[in-house]
């Protein structure tokens, strides 16, 4: 099987800019959940790089003596909407998370909120598991594409209506390992 051809890309959000903002998000989340147990709920696959850096940023927000802390647990769900194209299709829940989510504080970690349909389906699913609280942290928000209203509690960056890749986001499963967010250039 041959690999899909790569397109040239231009940087929209640099690696240092991403990391600085994630540090700020980590500090804010640490303050908001101090001395609580928090389940970070990663949405596979796009959130993996953001999830890992955010989890470390929350840890690093502690003081040296660790007199204040946030106990983190990792859980994952998988949903899929873009099927190897740049246009969203029907959202499907592929893997729904464990019973551990019941009666817990949950922070959904998303790479991007676009139409809002993935988040809506996920929140509906989570309500069936009876969590204590559910909030959302998304690295990227593209409000111009919203089809259903959703509340995003922590937003890394608001971006314009352009197809972005990198730092977890793909085009036909490529580009996920770029350490920055990029726009694909037409060729
Ligand atoms: C992408 C992204 C979000 C969702 C956002 O996932 O990771 O989960 O789309 O789009 P929406 O707001 O329009 O629903 P995708 O379905 O491409 O799967 P992936 O995470 O495996 O790339």
CATH topology (fold) of 16-160: Rossmann fold (3.40.50)
Tens digits of residue pLDDT in 142-176: 999 999 999 999 999 999 999 999 999 999 899 99
Q: How far is the CA of 69 from the centre of ligand 1 (A)?
A: 31
Structural domain boundaries in the chain: 16-160
Give the count of beta carbons closer than 10 Å to the beta carbon of residue 105. Answer: 18
CA 116 to ligand 1: nearest atom: 12
Q: What is the DSSP letter of 103?
A: T
Q: Where are the alpha helices (DSSP H) in 33-181?
A: 48-60, 117-127
Q: Report the distance separating Cα 150 and Cα 48, nearest Å.
A: 22
pLDDT above 70 (res 87): no
Residues 6+ apart with CB under 8 A from 128: none
Task: Label residues 123-144 b or e (16+ Cβ within 10 Å = b).
Answer: beebeebebeebbbbbbbbbee
What confidence category does residue 6 fall into, taking pLDDT thresholds of 50, 70 and 90?
A: low
Catalytic option among 53, 63, 84, 114: 114
Residue in 41, 42, 76, 79 to alter for ligand 1 test, most ligand atoms within 8 A of Cβ? 79
pTM for the structure as a whole: 0.92
């Amino acid at each position: 099987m041959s690999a899909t051809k790569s397109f040239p890309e231009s940087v929209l959000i640099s690696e240092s800019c991403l990391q600085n903002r994630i540090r700020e998000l980590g500090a804010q989340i640490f303050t908001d959940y101090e001395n609580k147990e928090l389940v970070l709920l990663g949405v596979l696959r796009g959130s993996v790089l953001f999830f890992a850096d955010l989890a470390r940023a929350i840890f690093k927000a502690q003081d040296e003596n660790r007199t204040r802390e946030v106990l983190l647990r990792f859980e994952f769900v998988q949903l899929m909407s873009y099927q190897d194209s740049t246009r969203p299709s029907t959202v499907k829940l592929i893997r729904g998370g464990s019973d551990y989510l019941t009666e817990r504080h949950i922070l959904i970690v998303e790479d991007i909120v676009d139409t809002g349909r993935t988040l809506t389906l996920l929140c509906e699913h989570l309500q069936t598991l009876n969590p204590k609280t559910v909030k959302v942290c998304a690295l990227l928000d593209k409000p111009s594409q919203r089809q259903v209203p959703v509340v995003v509690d922590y937003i890394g960056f608001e971006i314009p209506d352009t197809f972005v890749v990198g730092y977890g986001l793909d085009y036909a499963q490529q580009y996920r390992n770029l350490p920055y967010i990029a726009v694909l250039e037409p060729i």
